[in-house]
Amino acid sequence: MTRKPKPTVSPRYCEAGVCGKPTQGGKPFCPDHLFSNAYARKVFAVNEAVERDAEGAKTKTPEELDVTGVIATEILRTLSQDGQKTIEKIAQDVNYLDSEGAERYAIALERAGLVKVGRTSRGAMTLKLL
Ligand SMILES: [Zn+2]
């Protein structure tokens, strides 16, 4: 009886420097060296930037907020997509942002000349792109 040869998956070894540990599932790096992977490093860097921004949204004054950061960019993006929005809606739509943070960003973005702050007839703060 002849057996079909098993399809051979050539084992892959970690490409980080002299590591050389076998990796799982054909990945180029072992778990220890995953961050050698450019994509993983990029994802990690973006997450870090978001976390830094998210922390800033809670603690920084409008003067200190980065209006070119990840959260500010996301606010501007949702405004360009949806038009005028209330602070509450922005806080709902943008990750890591509560309404107080959204209000501080609104002030920062208005000072930067990027948005116009308004009020609804009920007095809720609104934002729209300039
Ligand atoms: Zn490794």
| Separation of CA 52 and ligand 1 centre (Å) | 28
The residue range of the domain holding 105 is 36-129
State the burial class of residue 94 (Cβ atoms within 10 Å of its Cβ: 0-12, 13-18, 19+): buried
Q: What is the reported pLDDT for 1? A: 60
pLDDT exceeds cutoff 90 at 31? no
101 occurs within a structural domain: yes
What is the number of structural domains in the chain?
Answer: 1
8 occurs within a structural domain: no
- Structural tokens at position 13: 């070894």
pTM of the entire structure? 0.69
Whichever domain contains 85, its CATH number is 1.10.10.10
H helical segments located in 1-130: 38-59, 70-82, 87-93, 99-111
27 occurs within a structural domain: no
67 occurs within a structural domain: yes
Q: What is the reported pLDDT for 7? A: 58
Q: What is the pLDDT of residues 41-91, one digit of tens each?
A: 787 888 888 888 888 889 999 999 999 999 999 999 999 999 999 999 999
**Higher pLDDT pick, 40 / 93:** 93
Summarize the confidence of residues 98-120 as an average pLDDT. Answer: 96
d(CA 126, CA 87): 6
| Separation of CA 48 and ligand 1 centre (Å) | 23
| Separation of CA 3 and ligand 1 centre (Å) | 35
Q: Is 13 helix (H, G, I), strand (E, B) or coil?
A: strand
